[in-house]
Amino acid sequence: MAPATVSEKPTAIVCVGMAGSGKTTFMQRINAHLHGQQEPPYVINLDPAVLHVPFDSNIDIRDSVNYKEVMKQYNLGPNGGILTALNLFSTKVDQILNLVEKRTLPDPEQPDKKPVKHVLVDTPGQIEAFVWSASGTILLESLASSFPTVIAYIIDTPRTASTSTFMSNMLYACSILYKTKLPMILVFNKTDIKDASFAKEWMTDFDAFQAALHEDEAKNAFGGAEGGDSIGGSGYMGSLLNSMSMMLEEFYAHLSVVGVSSMTGQGVDEFFAAVQIKADEFNSDYQPELEKRRQDREDEKKATRQRELDKMMKGLNVTPGTTDAAGGERLGGGRSGGGGGIAGGLDDQGDSGADDSDSAADLDDDDAVDPDEEYDREGLQSRYEAALLDQKDRVTDSASFAKYLHTQR
């Protein structure tokens, strides 16, 4: 069966956001929306500490890792338990991708069953445990290596009404964007409580944000001294927020912004329109960058293996480019791979999220089976034996000479 083309691949939507921003309710809303469109998504829950989720998950981390048992066995607190549970679950990332890829292809046994077009991923409320951890990086890079992946950053709109909290959310979103290097959609949630038009205006109109900033300063909203004393008060905060707003102007240009009410469903259609735009952007802009980063890692691995091999040969007194005892095969500098198993293994473990979980389309490449891995073991063994034999002869000669001196006394 031929692998799915780029256009047939589902779009992975990873929902992240601060605790209490409404990620789970948002997940429920978009899941129900897709079911209503007769396009049920593939749902993955990555929150090990949640007691109840209001939607059915195809893959649930709680089925594989017992969060409370992890805390008990490793003597961890809540955050450490979540982080460790994610680390344990990330070891199954290849199985996750295999399951998702099967659902992206037509089922010959059930021809009426549609392949999925969206993969929804719910993350822990402790956003830093996912975004900044090694396991989160592995899971995100694995998804991005197989499917167009979009980050949906959920923002609690009523709590973002002040300029300081708004800027805090924007800075966090900026850091996530440059950490994940994936297209992002800002989702201002809970618009049934407060409309998100003010946030969109602040992001597109610098003067509007300046006016709101001056209004907060006049109200002494930053907790400074009366009259706006600039020493440790609102003057400092106003200057800081003003500088950051100018810095983030370029950042805003690369974002899609939508207002959504998870309770009423308002804005969900606009959200999926933004998802389609970002999926196309992923294929045109982000995918080549991911491929370049993957190739750079492969080149670095080959260089590391070559350095380890040269070091090992030097330790055995086998000089690269010399003739071995088996009959003239030379160990040239152009051969790499195989010998540096330890260093290569460490690199493979660190990069397993993107390299060990490539999709079927990636495995079809000519470079899928590295020729360097099929190293000539017989030739290498002959060089080992030649080096060991040479050392043995030196030891024997030295012993014979010492015995001769002893007999002459």
351 has a pLDDT exceeding 80: no
> What does the pLDDT average to over 206-216?
87
pLDDT number for residue 253: 80
Nearest-angstrom CA–CA distance, 215 and 399 = 93
From 47-51, 124-128, 237-241, the region with the lowest mean pLDDT: 237-241
pLDDT number for residue 408: 54
Nearest-angstrom CA–CA distance, 62 and 327 = 60
User: For the chain, how many residues are written?
Assistant: 409
More confident residue, 253 or 153: 153
Burial of 338 (0-12, 13-18, 19+ CB in 10 A): buried
More confident residue, 206 or 29: 29
pLDDT number for residue 218: 81
Nearest-angstrom CA–CA distance, 189 and 22 = 7
Please, what is the average pLDDT of the chain? 77
Angle of CA points 128, 169, 282, to nearest 5° = 75
339 has a pLDDT exceeding 90: no
The greatest distance separating any two alpha carbons of the chain, rounded to the nearest whole angstrom, comes to: 106
Angle of CA points 397, 399, 404, to nearest 5° = 95
> What does the pLDDT average to over 341-363?
37
pLDDT number for residue 84: 93
363 has a pLDDT exceeding 50: no
From 73-87, 272-286, 324-338, the region with the lowest mean pLDDT: 324-338
400 has a pLDDT exceeding 50: yes
From 172-176, 274-278, 370-374, 398-402, the region with the lowest mean pLDDT: 370-374
> What does the pLDDT average to over 54-66?
92
DSSP string computed for 238-290: HHHHHHHHHHTHHHHTT-EEEE--TTT-TTHHHHHHHHHHHHHHIIIIIHHHH
Element (H, E) at 144: helix 134-146
pTM beyond cutoff 0.75? no
Share of the chain above pLDDT 90, in %: 38
343 has a pLDDT exceeding 60: no
Read off the amino acid at residue 116: V
337 has a pLDDT exceeding 50: no
Per-residue pLDDT tens digits for 95-105: 999 999 888 88
Nearest-angstrom CA–CA distance, 129 and 70 = 15
> What does the pLDDT average to over 293-310?
82
| Cβ pair 116, 42 in contact under 8 A | yes
According to DSSP, residue 189 is labeled: E
> What does the pLDDT average to over 347-363?
39
pLDDT number for residue 300: 86
pLDDT number for residue 387: 61
User: Strand pairing partners for 153?
Assistant: 16, 186
> What does the pLDDT average to over 174-198?
92
Nearest-angstrom CA–CA distance, 189 and 169 = 13
pLDDT number for residue 299: 84
Tokens of 147: 């499917």
Distance from chain centroid for Cα 408: 74
Q: How many CB atoms sit inside 10 A of residue 213's CB?
A: 25
Tokens of 227: 């009259």
Nearest-angstrom CA–CA distance, 161 and 276 = 29
Per-residue pLDDT tens digits for 88-97: 999 999 999 9
Angle of CA points 290, 85, 291, to nearest 5° = 5
Which of helix, strand or coil describes residue 13?
Answer: strand
From 92-96, 102-106, 218-222, 349-353, the region with the lowest mean pLDDT: 349-353
24 has a pLDDT exceeding 80: yes
More confident residue, 75 or 373: 75
More confident residue, 333 or 141: 141
Share of the chain above pLDDT 70, in %: 72
